[in-house]
Amino acid sequence: MTKIIAIAWKDLRSTARNVPALVMMLLAPLALAALLGFAFGGGGGFDIAATKVTVANEDEGSPSSIVTAGCVVAGILESPDLKDVLEVTRKSSAEAARTAVDDGKAAVAVIIPADFSAVVYGGGTTARTQVELYENPTQEVGGSIVEGVVGQALLEFNGARAAAAGAVALSGGDREAALAAAKAAEQFTRSGGVTAGLQISQRPPQLPGDKSAQDISITGSILAGMMVFFMFFGAANVARTILDEDRAGTLPRLFTTPTSYGAILGGKFTSVFVTVTIQAVVLLVAGRLIFGIEWGRMDAVVLLTLVAAGVSSGLALLVISLTRTPAQAGAIGAGVYLVLALAGGNFTGTAQAGGAFGIVQKFTPNGWLLQGWDTTMRGGGSGDIRWQLLVPLGFAVAFFFFAVLRIRRRFA
């Protein structure tokens, strides 16, 4: 045991002196998580920053209408349901609304034409008019939301117009019947029929069957993915010392001392395992302190961290056992880790994927680990992630078993 600790301690000290490796193990995942997290709207959840919209309602109304159709559209944009995604201000003219976009004060200008009500309520089936959306092309997300809301409103209007036109046609030229149909269409519009299909709801990923699950921080989700991914590289970096030492002659020299193969391999595995565990702990603590990430219940966090360290260590040793030189291990290892990360979903955060991607994810230890982190961050305990612990643990044991077989055969 003393020899295992001595070998592990020697490797840990060597890693601690390796500044480039530390940067890759600790700073890179934090930096990437921060960048991606802020790109998706910060660390506080899945909220998207409200899009600034300016509305110029030039609708002059129609003789028969009480409320103009332009007011209905503007009202929809200003509805409480949309206040988290749209920040609407009114402008007195189309020119003023466009200027607000040009000056960067708004992302989208909605310009409702003067004849809008006239066309909607009384223009007949052939009448045409256009609501203008004046957009800043770089604000794609905000523009799409406004386009969707306005487009939906116009669809509803068109539906009402079509119904009224149909009623008029069926009346056979009866003026009173035609008037009644037009009134009914306007009534439908004003009574809220138009807004019926416009409710927008945010739906964060939900655990199956768990309606009370907490929302999770997007930065936390991304950092969990980056942490597991960079743990692969952290483990590889330490495990590669086996090949480095083989080339430098210190590994053969170790084998000439009265130290068993088991102790030498045990020492190496311990150093890899401890290194990636420390790496994970540093990232978890940094995530909590810098981004305020709620990682979840301690029991689940500890178990997930240890299993992730086991998987990374086992995989790194397996890659080492299959390669001859440090350069080979670097190249092949990087390929293996990237493929696993892509298949397991490390670059898409912890959100559970569906379809074929979800199936592929099940074949990777990191995919299971990420599901475990997702559940834990939503408040799940170790009992809720039984399979997300056991399956990766099985992978870790298998990796380690084959690695030890290969390494023993090679150095025996």
Q: Which chain residues interact with another protein by CB under 8 A?
A: 2-3, 6, 10, 13-14, 17, 248-250, 252-260, 412
Choice between 247 and 362, CB closer to another protein: 247
Choice between 172 and 258, CB closer to another protein: 258
CB of 249 to another protein, least distance (A): 4
Strands 132-135 and 86-91, sheet pairing = unpaired
Residue 264 has phi, psi (to 5 degrees) of -65, -50
CB of 12 to another protein, least distance (A): 12
CB of 271 to another protein, least distance (A): 13
Choice between 124 and 262, CB closer to another protein: 262
Choice between 6 and 170, CB closer to another protein: 6
- 207 dihedral zone (left: phi>0; alpha: psi -120 to 50; beta): beta
Strands 108-112 and 51-57, sheet pairing = parallel
Instruction: In whole angstroms, give the CA distance from residue 226 to residue 254.
Output: 35
Query: On the CB side of 112, how many CA atoms lie within 13 Å of its CA?
Result: 29
End-to-end CA gap in the chain: 21
Choice between 153 and 263, CB closer to another protein: 263
Instruction: In whole angstroms, give the CA distance from residue 192 to residue 200.
Output: 15
CB of 216 to another protein, least distance (A): 41
Q: What sections of 131-200 are H helices per DSSP?
A: 140-171, 175-188
Distance of CA 348 to the CA centre of its chain: 5
CB of 280 to another protein, least distance (A): 25
Choice between 356 and 412, CB closer to another protein: 412
CB of 328 to another protein, least distance (A): 20
Beta strands in 220-370 (DSSP E): none
Instruction: In whole angstroms, give the CA distance from residue 238 to residue 271.
Output: 7
CB of 10 to another protein, least distance (A): 5
SS3 labels along 18-78: CHHHHHHHHHHHHHHHHHHHHHCCCCCCCCCCCEEEEEEECCCCCCCCCCCHHHHHHHHHC
Instruction: In whole angstroms, give the CA distance from residue 70 to residue 122.
Output: 14
Tokens of 114: 């003067």
CB of 25 to another protein, least distance (A): 18
Choice between 66 and 412, CB closer to another protein: 412
Instruction: In whole angstroms, give the CA distance from residue 239 to residue 249.
Output: 16
Choice between 30 and 264, CB closer to another protein: 264
CB of 273 to another protein, least distance (A): 20
Choice between 51 and 271, CB closer to another protein: 271
Contact predicate 101/224, CB 8 Å:
no
Choice between 93 and 250, CB closer to another protein: 250
Tokens of 157: 């209007």
CB of 316 to another protein, least distance (A): 20
